[in-house]
Every structure is written in C-alpha cells, then in structure tokens.
Chain A
Amino acid sequence: MIAEVGHYALVLALALALIQATVPVVGAYVRDAALMTVARSAALAQLLFVLVSFGALTALYVTSDFSVVNVVENSHSLKPLLYKITGVWGNHEGSMLLWVSILALFGGLVAAFGANLPLSLRAHVLAVQAWIATAFYLFILITSNPFLRTLNPPLEGRDLNPVLQDIGLAVHPPMLYLGYVGFSISFSFAVAALIEGRIDAAWARWVRPWTLMAWICLTLGIAMGSYWAYYELGWGGWWFWDPVENASLMPWLSGTALLHSAVVMEKRNALKVWTILLAILTFSLSLLGTFLVRSGVLTSVHAFATDPTRGVFILLILCVFIGGSLALYAWRASALKQGGLFAPLSREGALVLNNLFLTTACATVFIGTLYPLALEVVSGDKISVGAPFFNLTFAPLFVPLMLAMPFGPLLAWKRGDIAGASQRLMAAAIAALIAMAVLWAWTSGGASLAPLAIGLAVFVIGGALSDLVERTQLFRAPFATAMRRAQGLPRATWGTVFAHAGVGVALIGIVCETTWNTEYIGALKPGGVATVGGYALRLDGLTQQQGPNFRAQIATFSVRNGNGDEIGVMTPSKRNFTARASSTTEAALLTRGFSQLYVSLGEVTADGGQSVRIYHKPLVLLIWFGPLLMAFGGLLSLSDRRLRVGAPKPAKQARGLQPAE
C-alpha cells in the first residue's frame, strides 16, 4: 500500500499543480480575491502530497520492498540504513522526486510566509511555480516514474553504485538541489513582475533573501561536491572543469551576480530590469544544469541512466521555460518603471561592474561547456575543452573582479569617492605587497604568478577587514567605542566581510595547492618508504578486511615528519563490491593544519608491489574553508531580518571633512 499511496499522492500533486497554475491567474484577471487565494492553499496541499510521496519512496527503500523496480535497481537489503535513505536520491527517478519535493517546499514557504505580499503578486508567483512543477511532475510520471512495480519481486536488489555509498550523498545532492531549485523563486517573482508589468517594493524585499538562501545552499553544495570528488575519486583533484561541475558553477556565477544586483534593488530601487533578467538567466542555467546532468548528454558519475525520451522531454521543458520567459522579458521589460539613477563611481556602479565580470565569466564557462557538445552534434567531431581554456579565460576575468571587490563596500551609495576608498584600502594593499615580497623571496625560482595571486588574495581579505575597521572606526575612536559600533553593525555588514574574505581564503588555497603540490606516484613493497613534501611514508603492510557489502584491501602507512617523529598512521584502501562487481578507492587523508597528505591505492603490480599515489597538498583545506566562510557570511546576512536601506550620498559635500557622528 505504501508504494501505491506514494504514487497516487504524486498524481494528486500534479492535479493540484495544474489547478494552482491556472486558477490564480484567472483570479488576478477578474480581480477575485478568493480565486487568487486558491494558489495559497493549493501550494500547501501540493507540498503535503509531495512530502507523502517522497516519504513513501523512502519507506520503500528502508524496508527494501523489491516489488518496486526503482528499489530493486538501486538498493540492497544488506546496505547500511544511511545508504538506504540516501539511495532514494542516488538514482535518476528518486533524484527527480527530490527535485520536485524541494520545488514544492519553496512554493509552500512562499504560500505560508507570503502574507505581506500584494495578493496578485503572490497569486502570480505561485502560479509560475506551479507551471514549473507541472512540467516536472509530468516528466517524472511519464518518463521516470519511481513507483513502477514488478510482478516478480527478486530476493535481492542490485545495490547502489559503490562510489555513491558515502556520506557525501547525504549532503551534496540535497544542498545542490536546494540551490538550483531555490533560484526558481526569484525566477517566479521575475516572471510575475513581467506579467503584472510593475515591480513592487515588496518584490525587491522578497527576492533578495530567497536568492541569498539558494545561493548559500548552492555554495555549500558545490564545495561539498568538490571535496567529495577530492577524497573519493582517488586522483587528488578538486575541480576538473568537467561539464557537470560547470553546470553547477554557471548558476552560481549568475546567482552571485543576482544576489548583488538584488541588494542594489532593495536598497536603492535601481537596476530593476537587469535584476529581472538575471533572475530569469540564473534559473534558466539551473534548468540547463538539470538537463545536462539528467538527459544523458554527458557521461559522468552523475548520469545514472541514459534514455533518449528523457533527454527530449527535459529539452522541451528547457525550451518552453527559457524561451518563454525571455520572450516575455523582451515584450514586457520596456513597460517596467526605471529605477533610481546613480553616478558611475558609486556603490551601485561597483556592483554593476561586479555583475559585468560575473556574467562574462559565466558566459565563458557556458561556451566552454556547450561548444564541444554543439560541435559534436553538428560535425560529429569530439573535442575536449579542459583546464587550459578555462585558465586562460576565467582567470583573467576574476583578477580584475577581485581587485575591484574591496572597493565596492567602501564606496558610498549614489555618488562614490574613489580616492577616499583607495586611501582606506592602503593598509590592505601594503599587506598584499608584503605578502608578495615575502613569497617571492621564499620561493625564488618558482612560479612567478603564484606570489602575485597570493598578494591579490591578501588584498581581498585585507580589503574586507578594512571595511570593518572603517565602519567601526577602530584605531581612530577609542577601543570601547569601536566595540560598541561593532555590536551595532547590521549582521548583513558582517556577512559581507565574511563572504568577501572567504573568496580571498579560497584563492590562497587554490594557488598553494596548484603551485606547491608535491606528489609521489610509484609502486611500494611492504617496508618501502616514499618521501613527499618533507614527510616520510613507510608502507607497513597490506591486509584484507570484510565490510557489510564489500571486501577491502587496506594498506597501512606510518608517517614521519622531517624530524623523524611518527605523526600518524594512514590506511588507504580499495573496496570491492560483489553485487555490482566494481571497486572504489578510499583515499586516506592526514590533516596538518590546513595542509593534507593524501594517499590512494592503485593496482598491485606484477612483482608484488602496491602502486600508490601520494600527494602533499599545502593549505588545500582553505579551498573549501573559503566557501564555508562565504556561506557563513550569507547566513549572517540572511539572519538579518531588518529592511535594507542604502542612504544616498548627498551631492556637494566633501567626504573628508565629515565628522564621525
């Protein structure tokens, strides 16, 4: 009964979505409040039924009901409970169900907390949400139904892909989907504004927190995915410019741009039309990401099964929503009231610059990801656009962006003072120069660009701190006053500081890891010693062990530092999963500060040696610590429930003469 109830709940959710997609629009047209309010209760009921459906599928996985085809194909009764639950979305059908669940969740949140929205705006927003939901319910029910049954239930399932049997599966996909689907809210708001032909002040007030929430989740999701690939795939790499990764990076870049332009809109009532376009583009890129990953166009760990009908169906959804919303934009954008004006050198101007760089970077990734695919379709040639392309195009775009980043928060709204801002960034610039000089001296003869990049990162971090010093008047006012001001600072300001510093921190990690990474690749026999990055690793022995549904070959390394003191034991392993007849590498990581030693096992060589890959990765953890800081900054800003007001700089007033209070 569980399976059928879940199935029927999904069908009911579709029926409700269809009603939610039409009735409120009619209601807004005939100006009937009751009809518009149908959107609210329908959205809440739809959320309820989707949750029932998702809960039912989870229950089927937990009880290993092998009369459901999806469970047979992706589960195993011996699997640990955690992987039974995460296995629900570790496959195509289940992950799409998670997708619509999150979509319904956001719709339900708008319905539940949208009381302060103008009625017709709320009706339109929820209707647009329902259009998206309808398309995806149909997609699930017609091409990827997780509730289909089999008449002859087998005794055992085929188990989950071993690579996915990891704690990462519990975090990475839900986070990423919260990010992808979270952008659907700003999309729905944008389309609703276009339909209504006007943008309320409430519009801006609502879009920013939703965008911020989606952005936080996407940031964490991408960082988690990157760390997962780093320790699970056994290559020690953390970013491959793989199309699937790019698919998540594109919405992140445009989402970051959207986040900043939404701030301008909320605080200054400017950049309205541009924000709407960005909202449409960001969700379109999320849909594109879903298409790339789920259609089977790309082969990767993310493509669970390839089925041409699914690809065509998602492509159809993609065309209708992206084409439709952009056409609507082209038609209606001119009807929208233009917002406030500002001088080029102002906080607004800095944020426009930020938007320009971010969208250009996004376009670069877009071309690098889709050009090979398009070329293959047109001419049949297979080309691979990899790291060299992105390093050549992406990096030059990010350098000026990061150079400009510290200036932004220091400029005043409406009219800025670049000289004053530069002056206040002097300390950060000096710190950056010192860092560069020290590194240059220390690594003379090494890569010449690395010290420059580190200098840039220090400048970004220093800039973020300068902003804080400036606002609290630390070093100028008495310490107690500064502390009092620091307490009075809006949490949103602290959020900016953390998020911007996070970018610098991540950059330090990236530069250090790519420049000063040392490795040892070779075969070791028991007793053999490899020296990497000043650490000596001795292979003590190889043992076998039995896990619940796999058999592991474990190598034990004892690690000594430069002084010969033993600092730890590392046990990388290879796991063989019989049910899928496949194996995974479990890399061993030894963390020293922010640096890591990384050992992964290869094959056993003919003469009985164990081939190993050992890396020493200096400051590698900063790569993920940076995004964590960014997300933390985002959370701080999100927790600040106050309204955002950007006080404009009145004309004709010399900044330098202004008293403190």
Chain B
Amino acid sequence: MTLWFVFALMTAAAAFAVLWPLGRGSRALISGSETVIYTDQLAEIERDVSAGLIAKPDADAARVEISRRLLTAADSTRDAPSGVSLGSRRVVSVLALVGLPAMAAAFYLPLGSPHMADVPVAARRGPATVNQPMDNLVAQVEAHLEKNPTDGRGWTVLAPVLAKLDRYEDAARAYRNAITYAGETSDRRADLGEALTGVANGVVTSDAKTEFERAAALDADNAKARYFLGLATEQDGRGADAAAIWRAMLAKAGPDAQWRTVVQQALARVGGAAMPPPSQDAIAAASGMNEGDRTAMIRGMVEGLATRLKADGSDVEGWLRLMRAYMVLGDRDQAKRAEGDARAALGADADGLKRLDDGVKSLGLNG
C-alpha cells in the first residue's frame, strides 16, 4: 500500500510541475532581450579600455559596431509574448491531470513489478537461528571474512562447509586463504586438492595433484592425499599402479579407519584384489573384544550414520556405507530398506542415483 501512496505523491508532484506555470500567466515573466546584451557589451569595452587591454581607436571602432547592432535590435524588439490562450491552457491542464497519470500507468504497469518487495543481501543475513537455512549462515560468515580477509580461523571453518554445498570454487579459495593465514597443514592441502577436484567434476587436475603431493610431503600418512593420488594415477590410465597405492594404504591402516570402505571400493573398481588379508593390528584389535561388544559398537556407529542420513539424504557415499554396514551385520532387509530410503532422498539427483546404482551393484545387494 505504501508503494501506491508513494506513486500517487510522485504523480501529483509531476502534474504540479506542469500546472504551476499556468496559474501565473498574466504576470510579467522575466525574459532576456538582445538590447540588454549589447548594453552589457558596451560596458565591457569601457572596462577593457580602462584596463589598458585595447587601444582607444580599437575601442571606438567596437563601440560604433555594437551601437549599430543595438539600434537595430531596439527597433525590432519583439513584442513581449502577450497572448493568453485560455483554450490551450485548459488542454494542457487536462493533459497534466489525466494524460500524465494515464501515460505513466500505461508504461509502468506492463513493465514494473509493484508486488515485489526489495531483497537486499543484508536482509537475507538476519541473526542466526536454528531454522535458518545453511546458505544464510554461510553468507554471514562470508560477509565477515570480506571485512577481515586475514582471519585464518574463519576461512578454516568456512571452507569445508562450502565444499559440502558443492561450491567448490569458493571452497578452493577459502582453503587457499586458510593456508595463507592459518598456516599450511597436510590436511588443508589435501582438502584444497579435493575442492579443486570438485571444480573439475571429479577429475584430479594437475593443480589438484600438486596439492595432494604437497600434502603427502607434509604427512606421508595423509589418507585423503594418498587416496586421491591413487585416483589421479587411475585417471592417467595406470590402474595397476593405483591399486598398488591403495593396497599399501589398506595394509597400513587400522581396522576402524573411516575411509577403508571407500578405498576398498576404488580398489574393486580397478580390479585389484578386493579384500587384502586383514592386518595384524586389526586382528589384534578385534580379538581384544568379545562378540557382543563388537556388535554393539558397530550397531552404535550404524545408527549414528542412519540418523545423519535421515537429516541430510544427499550423501550417496553415506548411504552406500550404511547399506554395506547392514550387509556386514547380516541384516539384508535393513540394507534393502536403506536403498529405498536413499532413492527417495536423492529424488531427482540423476548423478547421485547413478552412483548409488553402481555402488549397490558392487555390494551384490540384489544378486
């Protein structure tokens, strides 16, 4: 409603601007005339002569010239515009009161969007609440970092969130800043590499590979860096070398390493031996527990995962991990149900569904 009120005020102001002069018609209006200018010019010559800028004879010649023009102008002085055309004035008044608003409406209504409110960025960044979508929180942090670009901790917090939102380019930028301002660590280098891989739609580019190599140089056991270096090798067409890298990882890692399944899957993909013999450590760790404890521990982890996936269903790898866990626990029905939930949660995400299909195939769930 305010908007229409403002529009009405503006229209009234415009109409008033046209009507105002009409009301004061008969009074004498200021109008310049030629004679004024010529008299001014004559005065100017006097000033020049007294300043010594032009010589006397020159000044006389100029005076003669201008006086001649002044006389002509005075003779032909136009009669002051005296006509008062009431008819025309009435037409113009109607034009201002009716035509002007009509014209404005005719142009504005098809073009404008009077129903739409303003959406400045600041309005989208209200105080943080539980219900606030992730995007707004991210925007707030970004705004903060715009003002304090050297806040390394801020970048460190922001970067993984951006990566999660699939904003890989921004994530890569954030990781770079984190490295610059919060110091270089093996994990940050590896995460940067992962973000760069995300930018390239999963291809480990040479830039990304450089980052992984740096990460591995800082910490030879960095799992993410080594996994992706393997992936780079695979993408170079050297599947066997990739398998060797991954097998070495599995051999060295503990049984509870979260990434174990991902690497095993990758290994299966390149056709390496699917399951290396369990390492000595793993056997030792597992044998330290009784059957019940072990099952309870695994159940606990699986439930945690299931709850998380219920909240955010877009994580394909998570779903696959969950299904695999149910299979390991011997609960085939639960695994099937998880697959159904995953399909429902992924919805229209074609790429995710395809990855899910591939994963399900390799699990042998339907076979």
Contacts and interface: CB of A to CB of B under 8 A. Distances in A.
A650 B61 CA distance: 6
Nearest to A116: B32
Interface stretch (B62-70, B230-238, B273-281, B299-307): B62-70
Contacts of A202: 32, 34, 37
A34 B17 contact: no
Contact residues of B: prevailing secondary structure: helix
A240 to B, nearest CB: 34
A118 B92 contact: no
A19 B137 CA distance: 51
Contacts of A646: 62
Given A8-B104, A201-B69, A23 B118 contact: no
A48 B62 CA distance: 44
A5 B88 CA distance: 32
B118 A19 contact: no
Contacts of B30: 115-116
A648 B61 contact: yes
Interface residues of A, number: 85
B21 A40 contact: yes
B18 A42 contact: yes
Contact of A551 (B11, B103, B118, B176): B176
Interface in A17-71: 18-19, 23, 26-28, 30-38, 40-42, 44-45, 48-49, 52, 60, 63-67
B59 interface: yes
Interface in A619-661: 642-643, 645-650, 653, 658-659, 661
Contact of A645 (B2, B20, B44): B44
B205 interface: no
A41 B17 contact: yes
Interface size class of B (residues with CB under 8 A): 35 or more
B126 interface: no
Contacts of A485: 52-53
A488 to B, nearest CB: 4
A27 B32 CA distance: 17
Interface string B25-61: 1000111111011101100110110011111011111
A548 to B, nearest CB: 6
Contacts of B113: 3-4, 149
A202 B25 CA distance: 24
Contact of A45 (B14, B24, B34, B45): B14
B173 A37 contact: no
A643 B177 CA distance: 64
B33 to A, nearest CB: 6
Among A1, A269, A489, the one with the most B-chain Cβ atoms within 10 Å of its Cβ is A1
Contact of B48 (A3, A35, A645): A645
B111 A115 contact: no
A647 B44 contact: no
Interface in B145-188: 146, 149, 169-170, 173, 176-177, 180
Contacts of A9: 10
A405 interface: no
Contacts of B25: 32-34
B268 interface: no
B37 A38 contact: no
A33 B177 contact: no
A16 B100 contact: yes
Contact of A201 (B23, B34, B120): B34
B269 to A, nearest CB: 32
A33 B34 contact: no
A12 B149 contact: no
A15 interface: yes
A117 B65 contact: no
Nearest to B42: A645
A8 B7 contact: yes
B108 A67 contact: no
B116 to A, nearest CB: 5
Nearest to A18: B103
A119 to B, nearest CB: 4
Interface of B: 2-3, 6-7, 10-11, 13-14, 17-18, 20-25, 29-34, 36-38, 40-41, 44-45, 47-48, 51-55, 57-62, 65-66, 69, 73, 78, 80-85, 88-89, 92, 95-96, 99-100, 103-104, 107-108, 111-114, 116-122, 124, 135, 139, 142-143, 146, 149, 169-170, 173, 176-177, 180
Given A63-B118, A148-B111, 7 more contacts: A19-B100, A63-B121, A64-B122, A65-B118, A116-B36, A117-B32, A548-B146
Interface of A: 1-5, 7-9, 11-12, 14-16, 18-19, 23, 26-28, 30-38, 40-42, 44-45, 48-49, 52, 60, 63-67, 77-78, 115-120, 141, 145, 147-149, 151, 153, 155, 200-202, 205, 269, 340, 471, 485, 488-490, 546, 548, 551, 578, 642-643, 645-650, 653, 658-659, 661
Q: In the A-B complex, list the 10 residue pairs whose CB atoms are closest, starting with the nearest.
A: A45-B17, A63-B120, A34-B25, A116-B32, A31-B83, A37-B21, A647-B58, A64-B121, A647-B62, A67-B119
15 contacts: A1-B117, A3-B116, A5-B7, A11-B108, A12-B11, A19-B99, A32-B84, A34-B24, A35-B21, A48-B13, A119-B29, A145-B111, A147-B112, A201-B69, A340-B65
